[in-house]
Amino acid sequence: MLLRSIRRRIALCGVTTAVLVGLTTAGVAAPAAAAPDAFRPQLVTVDTPTRADKQLLQTLGLDLTEHAGHDYVEVVLHTAEDAAALVAAGLGYDVRIPDLLAREAENNQLNAAYAAATERSPLPSGRDAYRTLDDYNADMAALAEEHPDLVKLFTLPHASLDGRPIYGVEIGRGVQGPERGLPVFLMLGVHHAREWPSGEHAMEFAVDLVSNYGTDRRITDLVNRSRVVVVPVVNVDGFHMSRTDGELVDLRTVDEGGTASILGTPGNAYKRKNCRLVDGQDTPDGTCAIAATSPGGYGAGVDLNRNYGGYWGGPGASDLFADPTYRGAAPFSEPETQNIRELISGRQVTTLITNHTFSNLVLRPNGAAPDLVPGSEGIPLGDPYDEDALRELGDEMAAQNGYTSQHAWELYDTTGSTEDWSYNTTGGFGYTFEIGPDEFHPPFPEVVDEYLGAGEYAGRGNREAYLIALENAVDPEMHSVLTGRAPAGAILRLKKTVATSTWDASIQDTLDTTMTVGPDGRYTWHVNPSTRPVVMDRQVETVSGDPVAEESWTGTTAPLQSTDQEFAVTQDVDLLEITLDWPTPDDLDLEVYRKNADGSLTQVGSSGNFVGDKERVLLQDPAQGTYVLRVINFASATPSWTLTAALFEAETSTVPGLVENWTLTCERDGRVVQRVPVVIDRGQQLRVNLTACGRR
C-alpha cells in the first residue's frame, strides 16, 4: 500500500523541485535527463515463438534475463549495437523499460521514502532497505555471536577473485559439536550480481529460523532435525560493485538554488557476472574494483550459473568471454563455484534452493530439453528420474507464492547450472526460485511482499515455500537413511568418485562426507541415494510409425496477410504436429489456436523461425476439438505454401541405468578399520552394523 502511494505521488507530481528537495534530505536524488542521442540501457521483450527463436537469440551475445515464456524472452540492451543485433537477426521486440538508469533512480527514491516512513519492516530482521556486502557479513557475524549454540559462522575455502572472503552460516541445535548425520538444507543467493532480492530472502530465512527457534513449534522441530546452511552472497565481487553503483547510478544532487549536477552513471548497477577480467587467469586483488567497466558491467566475467559441471558447455551457455552467459574456461573454473561444489560434495545436502530474480518461477531440473542429445552420452536427456516427486514439491512451493512451477528448460535451454549439477551428481533435490515479476532489484517493499506474501498469498509467500522445502529436506521418505551400531566417537565416512558428464566430455567429482558416532554407540545418518539420478533408468519419447491421421493444404497468402485452416482432433493421441513449408528462402510464420465452445480462439502454439527456416509446432497430448492453423506471410515474396497437420502415437522407451554404491568406512585414530559397500535407494532405510570397527 505504501509503495503504491509513493509511486502515485511521484507520477502525479513529476520530478518537481519540491519533490526533489524533499527526497534529497533523505540522501536520494532524481534521474538526470539523457542526452537526446544517447542510448540508455533498456529492458525489452523479444518475440521468440519457437524454440529455434530462443536458440537463435542465445547466439547473439546479448544479456538474457530469467524472465521468459513460451513465446518471449526479456533481454537487457546495453548499447545501440545490442538493439541492432536483434534487428539484424530478424527478432522483433517491444521496449518494456526504456531507461534502466532512470528506473534505478526512481527505485532509489522509492526506497528512501519507504525507509523514512518505516520504523521496522515486517521482515524477520525488520530491515527497511537493501543490505550492502558489509551488512550481510555483519548480520551473519551477529547471528553467530548472539546465538552461539544455534549458529556457526564459517568462511568458504576460496576467496573471490578480488580477494574477498565469502561467508555463510550453519544453523542447528548443537551446531558447534561434531556432525551427527542430520540432513542438510542449503540456501544460496546472488549468483548474478544484480539480483539483490536473492540474497535478501536467503538472509531473512536465516534470521527467521534463529529468531523463532524455541517459540515457534514448527521451526524449532525443523531446526532440531536438520542442519540449515545459508550462503546469501555467492558472487561477492559482482554484488559489491552492483550494489554500490546501484546507489549512485544516474542521480543528481539539488542545491539551494534549484540547479542540479550529475554525480555519475557507473556501469555496474546491472552487472550479471563475476569479476574474472582475464579469461582463465587471476589478477591482483582489488583489480576488479578499479577496472574500467564494460556496458552495463556485464561484458567481463563468468556467468557463475553456467560454470557448474553438470552438462557444462551445452546449450544456453556461451563460449565467448564477452557474452553475458559465458560459461568459463572450464567446469568449476571460478572460485565461487568451487566453493559451492566443495560445500555440497562435503555434506549430505538433501534439498537445495538457489535464489535468483526475476520471473515468479520455481524451476526444477533439467535445464536442457529432454530431446536434446549430449555428445558425451549419445542418447536424449529425457526427464529426471525423480520427475514426479520433483514436480510435486515444485508445485507445492509455487502454491504458496503464486509462482509458476516448471522445468528450467521451459524457460529456455540452460546448461552448467547449480541445481542441474547438484541433483544429477548427488541426488539431492534442487530448485531455482526466480523472485518477483519484473525487475532485478525492485523497490524494497516488493522484497518484503515476496518474502511474506501479499494479496491472496499474504502470510505465505517465499517464507512458507522455503519451510516446505526444509520439510522435504528432513523427510526420510525423500532421501535415504543408514542406521546401526559403531564404536562411540568413531568417524564414519561415505565416499564415492564419479564421472560427471559435461556436454561433450566428463569431469571427476568426489563426494566425501563424514559423521561422528555418538556416545551410546548408535548412529542414524541421513544421506542421499547411492546411485546418482543421471545414471538411473530414463524414459525417452519417440514418434511411433506413420501418422494415425493427416491432412494437407496448399494456398497463397499476400504479404502481411494471413490464411486460416481448420483441423479436427477426434481421438486421443500423443502428438499433434503442424508443419509449414514454402519454396523460397524468405519468411512465413505459423500460429495454432484451439477453438472454444463460444467460437473464440485460444493460442496453443506458434512458430516464427529465422528467415529461410521452415515452421513447425508440436503439441503434446492435444485435447480433442477443432484447431485453427494460421499461415502468416511475414516477409515472403512468393507467397505459396504447403501446410500439413498430422496426429501421432508416441512410443516410450527406457534407457537402462546403472547401480552405484557408496563406500562406507569406519575410522578410529585416523585409520580405516572397517570398509563396507552400501547400495541404498531413495526412501530406503538400511541397517549397517560396524561393530567390527571396535575390534583391535
Q: Cell 495454432, residue?
A: 592
Whole-number Å distance between alpha carbons of 271 and 285: 19
Are 155 and 230 within one domain?
A: yes
The CA dihedral of 29, 31, 33, 34, to the nearest 10 degrees, is 130
In a domain, 113, yes or no: no
pLDDT tens track for 530-569:
999 999 987 776 666 789 999 999 999 888 788 999 999 9
Residue 489 and residue 467 share a domain:
no
Confidence of residue 577 (pLDDT cuts 50, 70, 90): confident
Q: Are residues 181 and 39 in the same domain?
A: no
Q: Higher-confidence residue: 369 or 262? A: 369
Residue (of 123, 273, 261) closest to 201 by Cα position: 123
The amino acid that residue 97 corresponds to is I
Three cell numbers written together for 311: 552438462
Quickly state the pLDDT bin for 578 (edges 50, 70, 90): confident
Please report the DSSP string for 361-390 in residue order: EEEES-SS-TT---TTT-S---S-TTHHHH
Which grid cell is 530? 547411492
**Grid coordinates representing 438?**
519484473
Q: Residue 392: how many CB atoms within 10 A of its CB? A: 13
What angle is formed at CA 167 by the lines to CA 361 and CA 517, rounded to 5 degrees? Answer: 95
Residue 72 in domain: yes
pLDDT value at 205 more than 90: yes
The answer on pLDDT for 19 being more than 60 is no
Q: By residue range, what is the domain housing residue 558?
A: 546-648
308 assigned to some structural domain:
yes
569 plus 670 within the same structural domain: no
* Residues whose CB is less than 8 angstroms from the CB of residue 118 and which lie 6 or more positions away in sequence, other chains included: 2, 128
The CA-CA-CA angle for residues 554, 559, 562, to 5°, reads 55
Q: Are 377 and 333 in contact (CB under 8 A)?
A: no
Judged against a pLDDT cut of 80, whether residue 487 lies above it is answered with yes
Q: What is the DSSP letter of 318?
A: B
350 part of a folded domain: yes
| Same-domain pairing of 330 and 434 | yes
| 494 and 472 within one domain | no
What's the grid cell of residue 624? Answer: 480433442
Tell me the CATH number at 596: 2.60.120.380
* pLDDT > 70: percent of the chain: 87
102, 150: one domain: no
- Quick check: is 219 in a domain? yes
The answer to whether residues 144 and 210 belong to one domain is yes
Give the residues across from 501 on adjacent strands: 506
Tens of pLDDT along 318-364?
A: 898 888 889 999 999 999 999 999 999 999 999 999 999 988 999 99
Q: Are residues 454 and 331 in the same domain?
A: yes
Cβ atoms within 10 Å of 411's Cβ, excluding its own: 25
Q: What is the pTM of this model?
A: 0.78
Residues 6+ apart with CB under 8 A from 336: 158, 160, 166, 191, 234, 235, 236, 274, 304
Query: Catalytic amino acids?
Result: 434
Separation between Cα atoms, residue 269 and residue 296, nearest integer Å: 7
Per the CB < 8 A criterion, the answer to whether 400 and 460 are in contact is: yes
> DSSP 3-state assignment of 274?
coil
Tell me the Cα Rg of the chain: 27
Domain assignment of residue 426, yes or no: yes
Instruction: Provide the CATH number for the domain around residue 348.
Output: 3.40.630.10
**Considering its fold, how many domains does the chain have in total?**
4
Instruction: Provide the 10 A C-beta neighbour count for residue 159.
Output: 17
Answer with the residue of higher pLDDT: 125 or 669.
125
Nearest to 338 by CA among 465, 506, 514, 158: 158
> Mind listing the pLDDT tens digit for each residue in 606-639?
665 445 557 777 677 889 999 999 998 876 776 7
Residue 28 is predicted with a pLDDT of 35
Q: Do residues 437 and 496 share a domain? A: no
Instruction: Flag whether 285 is in a domain.
Output: no
CATH number at residue 682: 2.60.40
542 - beta bridge partners? 651
Average pLDDT for 202-220: 98
The predicted structure's pLDDT at residue 608: 57
Q: Give the residue with greater pLDDT, 122 vs 78.
A: 122
Residue 514 lies in a domain: yes
Mean pLDDT (the chain, rounded): 86
**CA contacts within 13 A on the Cβ side of 319:** 6
Across 86-106, average pLDDT? 87
Confidence of residue 9 (pLDDT cuts 50, 70, 90): very low
On whether both 376 and 514 belong to a single domain, the answer is no
Same domain, 392 and 497: no
